Amino acid sequence: MSSANLTTEAPWVRRVLIAVALAFVTLFLLVPLVAVFWEALAKGWELYLAALVEPEAWSAIKLTLLTAAIAVPLNVVFGVAAAWAIARFEFRGKSLFTTLIDLPFSVSPVVAGLMYMLMFGANGWLGPWLAEHDIKLMFAVPGIVLATVFVTFPFVARELIPLMQAQGQDEEQAAMVLGASGWQTFWKVTIPNIKWGLLYGVILTNARAMGEFGAVSVVSGHIRGETNTIPLHVEILYNEYNFVGAFACASILALLALVTLLVKTLIEWRIARQREGAKERTLEARLAPASTH
């Protein structure tokens, strides 16, 4: 910390940069957010709360949370595996592989929904087979999960790859040389090193999973109280000129994003404390080796 003045800019540069960044955030993020809450509360708290406890809104909230709870872990497993393969090994076709992972970003969400429809819809490749066996994928929860997995597919991997590349693999190699097994190395060295990147990835995946509209809209069927997620419900309300309700539900998504960030901050704080605690304990242990187990 003593070297802080060596590795930072002159105060005026700092202030200008902060000011520019703040201005940008205000213009592009803060004002739209305020607009959402402004509209949501335009007719008072009672109407705002009423819009949220309404059964259809409630079922949309539950469905959204369920979808995220399934889609996020799936993509975390994939993302870590893909990042490990890409950042730690050289193989042919790596660029192609990386590009394919990115591809879901550039697909218009509507097209994503369409693709699944071409596969699983009643007239799709597997549609007749699914219908015969009474398996409902489209216009039901599995379809919504699939579409969500698709649109959030690259986040974790994309977050981890540059990070793991920047970190290099010296530490892992050292652990291996010292006799740790592959899994031990992974859990004890890699995961602690990438945890922030991973957490960002999870937060992004989660936020996007809850907010996705286009792809889900194609495969959901819009059955009220059953296959409507929050974003779909927002659209419905907006189209009913129920602006308060629409923005109230939208504000829930914004709040969920803020809550995930709060959770992240909490985790950060606890880990920092644990570390300090651990330091103290090792100190104590050193001072009185006999007293500890």
Partner 1 sequence: MTSRIVLSALVAFGLSAPVLADVTLLNVSYDVMRDFYKDYNPVFQKAYKAKTGEAVTIQQSHGGSSKQALSVVNGLPADVITMNQVTDIDLLADKGALIPKDWAKRLPNNSVPFTSTTVFLVRKGNPKNVHDWADLVKPGVQVIIANPKTSGNGRYAYLAAWGAALKQPGGSEAKARDYVSRLFKNVPVLDTGGRAATTTFMQRQIGDVLITFENEAEMISREFGRGSFELVYPKLSVSAENPVSLVDKVVNKKGSRKEAEAYLKYLWSPEGQEIAAKNYLRPQDKAVAAKYAAQFPPVKTFTVASVFGNWEAVAKKHFADGGVFDQIYAKK
Partner 2 sequence: MSLLNRQHSVLPGFGLSFGISVVWLSLIVLLPFTALVLMSTKLGWSAFVATVGAERVIASLKLSFGASAVAALINAVFGFLLAWVLVRYPFPGKRLIDALIDLPFALPTAVAGIALTTLYAPNGWIGQYLAPLGLKVAFTPLGIVIALVFIGLPFVVRTVQPVLEDLEKELEEAATCLGASRGQIFRRVIFPAVLPALITGTTMAFARATGEFGSVIFIAGNIPLVSEIAPLIIISKLDQYDYLGATAVAVVMLGLSFVLLFAINAIQWWASRRHGGGR
Binding positions for partner 2, 128-187, rule CB under 8 A: 146, 149-150, 153-154, 157-159, 161-163, 165-169, 172-173, 176-177, 182, 185-186
Comparison of 64 and 260: residue with beta carbon closer to partner 1: 64
Of how many residues is the chain composed?
293
Distance (Å, whole) CA 290 – CA 293: 8
Site string for partner 2, 85-104 (x = CB under 8 A): x--xxxx--xxxxxxxxxxx
Q: Which of 47, 70, 114, 141 binds partner 2 (CB under 8 A)?
A: 114
As a whole number of angstroms, the distance between CA 269 and CA 235 comes to 38
x/- map, 11-50, partner 2, by CB under 8 A: ---x--xx-xxx-xx-xxxxxxx-xx--x-----------
Binding pattern to partner 1, positions 139-158, x when CB under 8 A?
xxxx--xx------------
Residue 60 interface partner, choices partner 2, partner 1, none, CB cut-off 5-8 Å depending on type = none
Q: How far is the C-alpha of 151 from the C-alpha of 205, rounded, in Å?
A: 9
Q: Which does 70 bind (CB under 5 to 8 A by kind): partner 2, partner 1, none?
A: partner 1
Please say whether the beta carbons of 229 and 235 come within 8 A.
Answer: no
How would you class 57 by CB atoms within 10 Å of its CB: exposed for 0-12, middle for 13-18, buried for 19 or more? buried
Least Å distance, CB 254 to partner 1, is 21
Range in contact with partner 1 (rule: CB under 8 A) among 40-48, 94-102, 219-227, 264-272: 219-227
| Structure-token pair, residue 205 | 């995946």
For 187, other C-beta atoms within 10 Å of its C-beta total 12
* Residue 147 near residue 215, CB atoms below 8 Å: yes
Q: Which of residues 239-268 bind partner 1 (CB under 8 A)?
A: 239-241
Among 122, 267, 272, 285, binds partner 1 (CB under 8 A): 122
Q: Are 148 and 209 in contact (CB under 8 A)?
A: yes
Nearest approach in angstroms of CB 163 to partner 1 is 23
The span from the CA of 194 to the CA of 172, in Å, is: 12
What does each C-alpha distance from 30 to 38, 45, 211, 275 come to in angstroms? 12, 21, 18, 35
Q: Which of 122, 131, 240, 265 binds partner 2 (CB under 8 A)?
A: 265
